[in-house]
């Protein structure tokens, strides 16, 4: 004998109970409206790092967070961040996130400008035309190059997370999403050992931090993009995307969808996880 299926109201009420949303009998919202409210970020304040490129992953995530209702602050290393901020009604900041003192100053400035941060997206560190990856085999890799890759890809995530996680835990709600990569997490390519090691480190940081704040209402997750078409994509990278299972590279908007899923109030039972966004490429041996 089949078990009776729960009604839509029962489903929504089950989620509402754990994320403090009014139950079905307490408001005029339709079922669709209540489901949308489950994922609404209205009243939340988000910080997205590495959002200076108009066609990059950081900007796509910031845009989607705004569409979800969040107040958004964005950061990059150059003044072009103010152009991006104007495009999505965000607040822009310039900072070198590999510098401990600058991260501390950024934290104070963001709180003064927009309030206590509820959501952190650690996207800083991905390569760009002005800051390309170090591509050298290990035997030819200088210690300076090694440290540079770890600094911009792993240190940034650590410093920014450390600056904001304790206030989140004290308030009992928070989301941290780290942007890793498939390199070092599910695969690797020759001559990119430093980058792969740094991104693998990002997932390790994600899991460790998740265990530290799991009882405080703060979730910590990561996304691992594969070949994504951005302004910094090279022709060989785009060709690899065309050769993948889906016959195309991914888009920043597809990565943003995964990142913002982790930010939703209804994703409150997901922590310490890494979501691969690579169009199935990592499934191939």
Q: Give catalytic residue positions.
A: 195
Computed over its alpha carbons, how large is the radius of gyration of the chain?
A: 20
Whole-angstrom CA distances from 252 to 95, 185, 256, 278 are 23, 19, 6, 11
- Report how far residue 76's alpha carbon sits from residue 123's, in angstroms, rounded to the nearest whole number: 10
> By the 8 A CB rule, do 186 and 132 touch?
no
Q: What is the 3-state secondary structure (H, E, C) of the chain?
A: CCCCCCCHHHHHHHHHHHHCCCCHHHCCCCHHHHHHHHCCCCCCEEEEECCCCCCCHHHHHHHHHHHCCCEEEEEECCCCHHHHHHHHCCEEEECCCCCHHHHHHHHHHHHHHHCCCCEEEECCCCCCCCCCCCCCCHHHCCHHHHHHHHHHHHHHHHHHHHHHHHHHHHHCCEEEEEECCCECCCECCCCCHHHHHHHHHHHHHHHHHHHHHCCCCEEEEEEEECCECCCCCCHHHHHHHHCCCCCCCECHHHHHHHHHHHHCHHHCCCCCCEEEECCCHHHCC
């Amino acid at each position: 004998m089949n078990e009776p299926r729960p009604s839509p109201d029962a489903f929504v009420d089950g989620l509402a109970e754990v994320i403090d949303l009014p139950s079905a009998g307490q408001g005029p919202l339709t079922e669709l409206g209540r489901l949308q409210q489950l994922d609404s970020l209205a009243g939340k304040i988000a910080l997205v790092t590495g959002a200076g490129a108009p066609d990059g992953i950081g900007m796509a995530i910031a845009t989607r967070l705004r569409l979800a209702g969040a107040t958004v602050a964005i950061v990059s290393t150059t003044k072009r961040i103010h152009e991006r901020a104007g495009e999505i009604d965000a607040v822009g900041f310039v900072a070198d996130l590999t510098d401990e003192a600058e991260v501390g100053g950024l934290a104070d400035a963001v709180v003064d400008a927009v309030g206590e941060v509820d959501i952190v997206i650690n996207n800083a560190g991905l390569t760009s035309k002005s800051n390309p990856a170090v591509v050298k085999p290990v035997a030819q890799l200088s210690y300076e190059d090694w440290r540079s890759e770890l600094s911009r890809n792993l240190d940034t995530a650590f410093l920014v997370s450390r600056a904001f996680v304790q206030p989140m835990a004290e308030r009992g709600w928070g989301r941290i999403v780290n942007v890793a990569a498939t390199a070092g997490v599910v695969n690797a390519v020759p001559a990119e050992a430093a980058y792969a090691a740094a991104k693998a480190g990002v997932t390790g940081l994600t899991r460790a931090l998740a265990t530290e704040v799991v009882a405080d209402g703060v979730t910590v997750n990561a996304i691992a993009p594969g070949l994504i078409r951005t302004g910094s994509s090279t022709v060989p990278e785009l060709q690899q995307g065309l050769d993948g299972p889906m016959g195309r590279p991914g888009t920043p908007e597809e990565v943003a969808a995964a990142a913002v899923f982790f930010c939703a109030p209804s994703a409150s039972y997901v922590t310490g996880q890494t979501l691969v966004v690579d169009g199935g490429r990592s499934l191939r041996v």
